Amino acid sequence: MRYDFVIVGSGVAGLSASFMLAERGYRVSLVGLPGLTSMVAGSSSGILTYHMREPFLSWAIRTAEIYESLGQMIVEKVDSVWFSTDLDFVRAVEVKLAEKGLRVRRDEEKARELLGSYRSFEGEKALVADAFRLRVKDLIDALTSRAVSAGVAILEGWGKVGDGGVYLKNERIEGEVIVAAGAWAKEVLGLPGLIVYKCQAARLGSPRLWSMVIDDVLDFYVNLFHDGTIAVGDGVNVVTATPEDALWPDKALLEEIIERARKRGIIGSYEVSRYVSAPCVGTRDTFPLVGELKEGLYVLTAFDGVGFSIAPALAEALADHLHRGTPLPPQVDPKRELEPGEPVEPVD
């Protein structure tokens, strides 16, 4: 079988790249494991993150536009309370979002009102802004049906990357290869600069939560999850040797995070309905890897826990690069020097 592009990995990155290339006129096949996709994507809290520095912010804004083109149902707008150590930075984010027509209210008064009984620390500032969260399962379904209608051939199984193609169950699928394998990119490509770590959250059964809280002072978030439970997750990275090692949540750490949210008054009494953990992947400089590794082999991975917020924009940049030769953002060049080790500062 011969295609123009064979994409390995059916997560948000691979699905996005597949329909974008197919809609530009290429023959595309996507090799993936839906079970693994639902494990990583389904664990995710679906927060579209905007309090990021450039160029992450522009990628996040473009991603929001791409999601809008898939249909409103997958994104919902919520009040988001941020405890921000750096309001000047947030102001810059707000100006940029407003330029793009995305509404953001900076409202410290409203934050205090919403916080109600939340205990904030002396001199600490909080603000409320319009924020967006995803119904992740609906998003994956929407991306999959867009890929199918664009003519992408979706092939199920574990692909092995070879020269000029991908092997799947002893069959050789020829074409230029794009590896969008998430945390598995490390072993699929043998890239030493990738860091695999646990992205984890606990789901709580208590229903009282009217807004999403992102506490970048104490490094946690609290968010209403799509099954009606509350997701309490962390910004603390636990680095693991393999993606499989990231499947076991660090319960002690998660309990500590829940406790921090409880002490703040964000959650009251709670019951843990389940702990979730899945591998995320990042790089030491926190920029993802997007572009050509060698002739006919491309990579699209390492989104540092914010894949839903930025991966589709980078998939589009790669599709445009392949189609029209437009330059890719220089920061994401996969051939840049990447040392192994812990991330310097996660963006999430």
Ligand X SMILES: Cc1cc2nc3c(=O)[nH]c(=O)nc-3n(C[C@H](O)[C@H](O)[C@H](O)COP(=O)(O)OP(=O)(O)OC[C@H]3O[C@@H](n4cnc5c(N)ncnc54)[C@H](O)[C@@H]3O)c2cc1C
Where do contacts with ligand X occur on this chain (CB under 6 A)?
8-14, 31-33, 36-37, 40-41, 43-47, 49, 158-159, 180-184, 188, 199-201, 233, 276, 278, 280, 301, 303, 305-309, 311
Any residues with CB less than 8 A from the CB of 181 and at least 6 apart, and which?
A: 8, 9, 14, 188, 189, 301
Residue pair 270/311 in contact by the 8 Å Cβ criterion: no
Looking at beta carbons only, is 14 or 193 nearer to ligand X? Answer: 14
- Amino acid type, 44: S
**Residue 151, CA distances (Å) to 12, 82, 313 in order:** 17, 42, 21
- Under DSSP, is residue 249 helix (H, G, I), strand (E, B) or coil? coil
Looking at beta carbons only, is 25 or 162 nearer to ligand X? Answer: 162
Shortest separation between residue 49's beta carbon and ligand X, angstroms: 6
Looking at beta carbons only, is 128 or 233 nearer to ligand X? Answer: 233
Looking at beta carbons only, is 261 or 306 nearer to ligand X? Answer: 306
Residue pair 125/84 in contact by the 8 Å Cβ criterion: yes
1 CA to centre of own chain: 32
Looking at beta carbons only, is 115 or 201 nearer to ligand X? Answer: 201
Looking at beta carbons only, is 19 or 303 nearer to ligand X? Answer: 303
Shortest separation between residue 105's beta carbon and ligand X, angstroms: 21
Looking at beta carbons only, is 47 or 230 nearer to ligand X? Answer: 47
Shortest separation between residue 147's beta carbon and ligand X, angstroms: 13
Looking at beta carbons only, is 111 or 347 nearer to ligand X? Answer: 347
178 CA to centre of own chain: 18
**Residue 291, CA distances (Å) to 181, 260, 262 in order:** 14, 40, 43
SS (H, E, C) 144-200: HHHHHHCCCEEEECCCEEECCEEEECCEEEEEEEEECCHHHHHHHHCCCCEEEEEEE
Residues in the chain: 348
Shortest separation between residue 209's beta carbon and ligand X, angstroms: 15
> Which of 73, 4, 76 lies closest to 322, judged by CA?
4
Shortest separation between residue 180's beta carbon and ligand X, angstroms: 6
- Distance (Å, rounded) from C-alpha 343 to C-alpha 337? 14
H helical segments located in 1-55: 12-23, 34-43
Looking at beta carbons only, is 170 or 269 nearer to ligand X? Answer: 170
Shortest separation between residue 296's beta carbon and ligand X, angstroms: 17
Shortest separation between residue 229's beta carbon and ligand X, angstroms: 13
Shortest separation between residue 200's beta carbon and ligand X, angstroms: 5
> Which of 63, 68, 37 lies closest to 52, judged by CA?
63
Tell how strand 125-134 and strand 2-8 pair up: unpaired
Shortest separation between residue 122's beta carbon and ligand X, angstroms: 29
Residue 251 has φ and ψ, to the nearest 5°, of -65, -40
